[in-house]
Amino acid sequence: MMQRTIAKPVEIVGVGLHGGNPVRLRLRPAPEDYGIVFVRDDLGLSIPVKTENVVDTRLATVIGAKGATISTIEHFLSAALAMGIDNLEVGIDGDEAPIMDGSAASFCLLFEEAGLAAQDKPKKAILIKKPIEVRDGDKFARLSPGKSSEVLFEIKFDHPAIRRQKYRFVFSRENYIKEIARARTFGFLKEVDYMRSIGKGLGGSLDNAIVLDEKRILNSDGLRFADEFVRHKILDAIGDMAFLGAPFLGRYEAFAGSHHINHLLVKALLSDPQTYKIVDAEGAKSPAKELERAFA
Protein backbone atom coordinates (compact mmCIF):
# COMPACT_ATOMS: atom_id res chain seq x y z
CA MET A 1 0.00 0.00 0.00
CA MET A 2 1.47 3.30 -1.10
CA GLN A 3 1.31 6.84 0.25
CA ARG A 4 -1.43 9.07 -1.10
CA THR A 5 -2.06 12.68 -1.92
CA ILE A 6 -4.96 14.26 -3.79
CA ALA A 7 -5.29 13.95 -7.55
CA LYS A 8 -6.11 17.62 -8.21
CA PRO A 9 -6.37 20.91 -6.33
CA VAL A 10 -9.76 21.78 -4.83
CA GLU A 11 -11.06 24.47 -2.53
CA ILE A 12 -13.93 25.24 -0.21
CA VAL A 13 -15.24 28.42 1.44
CA GLY A 14 -16.87 28.63 4.86
CA VAL A 15 -17.03 30.63 8.07
CA GLY A 16 -14.69 30.41 11.04
CA LEU A 17 -16.43 29.22 14.23
CA HIS A 18 -14.81 31.70 16.58
CA GLY A 19 -13.98 34.70 14.40
CA GLY A 20 -17.11 34.47 12.26
CA ASN A 21 -15.15 35.56 9.18
CA PRO A 22 -15.32 33.97 5.69
CA VAL A 23 -12.31 31.75 5.03
CA ARG A 24 -11.11 29.88 1.95
CA LEU A 25 -9.41 26.48 2.23
CA ARG A 26 -7.32 25.35 -0.74
CA LEU A 27 -6.07 21.76 -0.98
CA ARG A 28 -3.00 21.10 -3.12
CA PRO A 29 -1.19 17.82 -3.92
CA ALA A 30 2.13 17.28 -2.13
CA PRO A 31 5.10 14.91 -2.70
CA GLU A 32 5.97 11.73 -0.79
CA ASP A 33 6.98 12.07 2.89
CA TYR A 34 5.72 15.68 2.94
CA GLY A 35 3.03 15.10 5.53
CA ILE A 36 0.18 17.54 5.99
CA VAL A 37 1.29 21.15 6.00
CA PHE A 38 -0.93 24.19 6.45
CA VAL A 39 0.12 27.35 4.61
CA ARG A 40 -1.12 30.77 5.59
CA ASP A 41 -1.54 31.97 2.00
CA ASP A 42 -2.18 35.49 3.29
CA LEU A 43 1.20 35.50 5.06
CA GLY A 44 3.31 33.08 2.99
CA LEU A 45 4.01 31.00 6.12
CA SER A 46 4.02 27.19 6.38
CA ILE A 47 2.99 25.34 9.56
CA PRO A 48 3.42 21.54 9.44
CA VAL A 49 1.01 19.34 11.41
CA LYS A 50 3.48 18.38 14.14
CA THR A 51 2.96 18.21 17.87
CA GLU A 52 5.66 20.81 18.52
CA ASN A 53 3.58 23.32 16.53
CA VAL A 54 0.49 22.96 18.76
CA VAL A 55 0.11 26.26 20.63
CA ASP A 56 -3.37 25.99 22.18
CA THR A 57 -5.86 23.22 23.01
CA ARG A 58 -8.46 24.97 25.15
CA LEU A 59 -11.39 25.48 22.75
CA ALA A 60 -9.91 23.73 19.70
CA THR A 61 -6.62 22.40 18.38
CA VAL A 62 -4.50 25.37 17.29
CA ILE A 63 -1.13 25.29 15.51
CA GLY A 64 1.22 28.19 15.10
CA ALA A 65 4.65 29.44 14.04
CA LYS A 66 6.38 32.82 14.06
CA GLY A 67 3.40 34.48 15.69
CA ALA A 68 0.83 33.19 13.18
CA THR A 69 -1.81 30.63 14.12
CA ILE A 70 -4.47 28.42 12.54
CA SER A 71 -7.33 27.27 14.76
CA THR A 72 -10.01 24.58 14.73
CA ILE A 73 -8.22 22.18 12.38
CA GLU A 74 -9.24 18.94 14.11
CA HIS A 75 -12.33 18.23 11.97
CA PHE A 76 -10.35 18.67 8.77
CA LEU A 77 -7.49 16.49 10.02
CA SER A 78 -9.95 13.82 11.12
CA ALA A 79 -11.34 13.60 7.58
CA ALA A 80 -7.86 13.61 6.04
CA LEU A 81 -6.71 10.72 8.23
CA ALA A 82 -9.87 8.72 7.61
CA MET A 83 -9.70 9.25 3.86
CA GLY A 84 -6.13 7.93 3.78
CA ILE A 85 -4.32 11.17 2.92
CA ASP A 86 -0.61 11.13 3.77
CA ASN A 87 0.72 14.19 1.95
CA LEU A 88 -1.11 17.46 1.44
CA GLU A 89 -0.62 21.21 1.33
CA VAL A 90 -3.53 23.10 2.86
CA GLY A 91 -3.69 26.75 1.90
CA ILE A 92 -5.77 29.03 4.09
CA ASP A 93 -6.27 32.79 3.99
CA GLY A 94 -6.98 33.34 7.67
CA ASP A 95 -6.32 32.14 11.19
CA GLU A 96 -9.12 29.57 11.41
CA ALA A 97 -10.36 26.60 9.40
CA PRO A 98 -13.99 26.84 8.24
CA ILE A 99 -16.43 25.10 10.56
CA MET A 100 -18.82 24.08 7.72
CA ASP A 101 -21.74 22.20 9.36
CA GLY A 102 -19.77 21.39 12.52
CA SER A 103 -18.80 17.91 11.36
CA ALA A 104 -16.23 16.41 8.97
CA ALA A 105 -18.72 15.48 6.25
CA SER A 106 -17.98 18.47 3.99
CA PHE A 107 -14.26 17.75 4.12
CA CYS A 108 -14.85 14.10 3.18
CA LEU A 109 -16.84 15.27 0.17
CA LEU A 110 -14.03 17.67 -0.73
CA PHE A 111 -11.50 14.83 -0.71
CA GLU A 112 -13.83 12.75 -2.87
CA GLU A 113 -14.04 15.64 -5.33
CA ALA A 114 -10.24 15.93 -5.41
CA GLY A 115 -9.72 12.18 -5.84
CA LEU A 116 -6.84 10.19 -4.41
CA ALA A 117 -3.50 9.63 -6.12
CA ALA A 118 -1.14 6.79 -5.18
CA GLN A 119 2.52 7.77 -4.81
CA ASP A 120 5.84 5.95 -5.11
CA LYS A 121 6.67 5.26 -1.45
CA PRO A 122 4.98 2.85 1.01
CA LYS A 123 2.42 4.21 3.44
CA LYS A 124 3.67 4.38 7.02
CA ALA A 125 1.87 3.72 10.28
CA ILE A 126 2.54 4.04 14.01
CA LEU A 127 2.39 0.54 15.51
CA ILE A 128 1.58 0.82 19.23
CA LYS A 129 3.93 -1.54 21.11
CA LYS A 130 3.29 -0.67 24.77
CA PRO A 131 0.37 0.99 26.60
CA ILE A 132 0.71 4.66 27.38
CA GLU A 133 -1.81 6.81 29.22
CA VAL A 134 -2.40 10.42 30.22
CA ARG A 135 -4.78 11.30 33.10
CA ASP A 136 -6.39 14.42 34.50
CA GLY A 137 -8.39 13.35 37.54
CA ASP A 138 -10.88 10.77 36.31
CA LYS A 139 -10.40 11.87 32.70
CA PHE A 140 -7.94 9.90 30.61
CA ALA A 141 -6.78 8.94 27.13
CA ARG A 142 -4.79 5.80 26.41
CA LEU A 143 -3.05 4.13 23.47
CA SER A 144 -2.36 0.41 23.67
CA PRO A 145 -1.49 -2.48 21.34
CA GLY A 146 -4.35 -4.05 19.44
CA LYS A 147 -5.11 -6.30 16.51
CA SER A 148 -7.04 -3.56 14.71
CA SER A 149 -7.14 0.22 14.54
CA GLU A 150 -9.97 1.25 16.82
CA VAL A 151 -11.27 4.07 19.00
CA LEU A 152 -13.31 3.62 22.20
CA PHE A 153 -14.73 6.74 23.81
CA GLU A 154 -16.99 7.35 26.78
CA ILE A 155 -18.51 10.64 27.94
CA LYS A 156 -20.65 11.63 30.90
CA PHE A 157 -22.58 14.89 31.16
CA ASP A 158 -25.11 15.96 33.76
CA HIS A 159 -27.62 16.83 31.05
CA PRO A 160 -30.82 14.93 30.21
CA ALA A 161 -30.06 14.93 26.47
CA ILE A 162 -26.59 13.40 26.88
CA ARG A 163 -26.07 11.52 30.16
CA ARG A 164 -23.55 8.70 29.67
CA GLN A 165 -22.63 7.60 26.15
CA LYS A 166 -20.06 5.08 24.92
CA TYR A 167 -19.06 4.08 21.39
CA ARG A 168 -16.54 1.77 19.75
CA PHE A 169 -15.33 2.64 16.26
CA VAL A 170 -13.29 0.22 14.15
CA PHE A 171 -11.31 2.05 11.51
CA SER A 172 -12.15 1.96 7.82
CA ARG A 173 -13.01 4.74 5.43
CA GLU A 174 -16.47 3.29 4.87
CA ASN A 175 -17.12 3.04 8.63
CA TYR A 176 -15.92 6.60 9.18
CA ILE A 177 -18.23 8.08 6.55
CA LYS A 178 -21.17 6.03 7.82
CA GLU A 179 -20.67 6.29 11.59
CA ILE A 180 -18.51 9.33 12.44
CA ALA A 181 -18.11 11.98 9.73
CA ARG A 182 -21.60 13.54 10.12
CA ALA A 183 -21.44 13.92 13.92
CA ARG A 184 -21.48 17.63 14.79
CA THR A 185 -19.72 19.62 17.45
CA PHE A 186 -21.87 20.67 20.39
CA GLY A 187 -22.03 23.28 23.10
CA PHE A 188 -24.20 24.65 25.85
CA LEU A 189 -26.11 27.92 25.52
CA LYS A 190 -24.56 29.36 28.67
CA GLU A 191 -21.09 28.64 27.25
CA VAL A 192 -22.01 30.17 23.89
CA ASP A 193 -23.10 33.38 25.60
CA TYR A 194 -19.83 33.52 27.55
CA MET A 195 -17.66 32.85 24.50
CA ARG A 196 -19.35 35.60 22.55
CA SER A 197 -18.80 37.98 25.45
CA ILE A 198 -15.03 37.41 25.03
CA GLY A 199 -15.09 37.57 21.23
CA LYS A 200 -15.23 33.83 20.55
CA GLY A 201 -17.86 31.65 18.89
CA LEU A 202 -18.95 34.53 16.66
CA GLY A 203 -19.49 32.21 13.69
CA GLY A 204 -21.41 29.60 15.66
CA SER A 205 -25.06 28.92 14.94
CA LEU A 206 -27.64 26.15 14.94
CA ASP A 207 -26.48 25.46 11.37
CA ASN A 208 -23.00 24.38 12.47
CA ALA A 209 -23.37 23.05 16.01
CA ILE A 210 -25.70 21.23 18.35
CA VAL A 211 -26.72 23.74 21.02
CA LEU A 212 -28.31 22.76 24.32
CA ASP A 213 -29.93 24.79 27.04
CA GLU A 214 -30.28 23.39 30.56
CA LYS A 215 -32.87 20.79 29.55
CA ARG A 216 -33.05 20.22 25.81
CA ILE A 217 -31.52 20.42 22.35
CA LEU A 218 -32.36 23.69 20.62
CA ASN A 219 -31.81 22.51 17.02
CA SER A 220 -35.19 22.07 15.35
CA ASP A 221 -33.95 19.15 13.25
CA GLY A 222 -32.74 17.23 16.31
CA LEU A 223 -29.82 14.80 16.23
CA ARG A 224 -28.29 12.87 13.35
CA PHE A 225 -27.52 9.96 15.70
CA ALA A 226 -28.99 9.18 19.11
CA ASP A 227 -25.41 9.21 20.44
CA GLU A 228 -24.10 12.00 18.20
CA PHE A 229 -22.24 13.60 21.12
CA VAL A 230 -19.84 10.73 21.76
CA ARG A 231 -19.43 10.12 18.03
CA HIS A 232 -18.25 13.69 17.63
CA LYS A 233 -15.73 13.17 20.44
CA ILE A 234 -14.37 10.25 18.40
CA LEU A 235 -14.20 12.52 15.34
CA ASP A 236 -12.16 15.04 17.35
CA ALA A 237 -9.86 12.36 18.77
CA ILE A 238 -9.05 11.01 15.31
CA GLY A 239 -8.14 14.53 14.20
CA ASP A 240 -5.89 15.03 17.21
CA MET A 241 -4.18 11.68 16.60
CA ALA A 242 -3.15 12.98 13.16
CA PHE A 243 -0.32 14.73 15.03
CA LEU A 244 1.35 11.31 15.33
CA GLY A 245 2.37 11.89 11.72
CA ALA A 246 0.81 8.66 10.45
CA PRO A 247 -2.26 6.51 11.18
CA PHE A 248 -1.93 4.39 14.31
CA LEU A 249 -2.39 0.63 14.58
CA GLY A 250 -3.73 -0.20 18.01
CA ARG A 251 -6.43 0.91 20.40
CA TYR A 252 -7.23 4.45 21.50
CA GLU A 253 -9.46 4.62 24.57
CA ALA A 254 -10.69 7.66 26.46
CA PHE A 255 -13.09 8.79 29.15
CA ALA A 256 -14.08 12.47 28.98
CA GLY A 257 -11.02 13.15 26.84
CA SER A 258 -10.20 16.54 25.39
CA HIS A 259 -7.93 18.20 22.84
CA HIS A 260 -5.49 18.95 25.66
CA ILE A 261 -5.36 15.36 26.91
CA ASN A 262 -4.99 14.10 23.33
CA HIS A 263 -2.10 16.49 22.75
CA LEU A 264 -0.36 15.30 25.92
CA LEU A 265 -0.90 11.68 24.86
CA VAL A 266 0.69 12.23 21.45
CA LYS A 267 3.65 14.01 23.07
CA ALA A 268 4.08 11.22 25.61
CA LEU A 269 4.04 8.50 22.96
CA LEU A 270 6.45 10.22 20.59
CA SER A 271 8.87 10.97 23.44
CA ASP A 272 9.20 7.28 24.35
CA PRO A 273 10.54 5.16 21.43
CA GLN A 274 9.77 1.97 23.35
CA THR A 275 6.02 2.58 23.04
CA TYR A 276 5.77 2.59 19.24
CA LYS A 277 7.36 1.52 15.98
CA ILE A 278 7.07 3.06 12.53
CA VAL A 279 6.09 0.38 10.01
CA ASP A 280 5.55 0.30 6.26
CA ALA A 281 2.36 -0.98 4.65
CA GLU A 282 4.32 -3.16 2.28
CA GLY A 283 4.45 -6.92 1.94
CA ALA A 284 2.23 -9.54 3.54
CA LYS A 285 2.96 -8.98 7.23
CA SER A 286 0.08 -8.32 9.62
CA PRO A 287 0.63 -4.52 10.01
CA ALA A 288 0.49 -4.17 6.23
CA LYS A 289 -2.70 -6.21 6.05
CA GLU A 290 -4.37 -4.15 8.76
CA LEU A 291 -3.37 -0.88 7.10
CA GLU A 292 -4.83 -2.11 3.84
CA ARG A 293 -8.08 -3.05 5.55
CA ALA A 294 -8.40 0.18 7.50
CA PHE A 295 -7.15 2.74 5.00
CA ALA A 296 -7.60 1.22 1.53
Q: Are 94 and 42 in contact (CB under 8 A)?
A: yes
Would you call 156 exposed, middle or buried from its count of C-beta atoms within 10 A (0-12, 13-18, 19+)?
middle
How many Cβ atoms sit within 10 Å of the Cβ of residue 220? 6
Q: Could you give the residue numbers annotated as active site?
A: 259
Gap between the Cα atoms of 157 and 162, Å rounded? 6
Q: Can you spell out the DSSP letters for the chain?
A: -EEEEESS-EEEEEEBTTT--EEEEEEEE--TT--EEEEETTTTEEEES-GGGEEE-SSS-EEEETTEEEB--HHHHHHHHHTT---EEEEESSSB-B-TTSSSHHHHHHHHHH-EEEEEEE-EEEEE-S-EEEEETTEEEEEE--SS-EEEEEEE-SSTTTSEEEEEEE--HHHIIIIITTPPPEEEHHHHHHHHHTT--TT--TTSSEEE-SSSB--TT--SSTTHHHHHHHHHHHHHHGGGSS-EESEEEEES--HHHHHHHHHHHHT-GGGEEEEES-SSSHHHHHHHHHH-
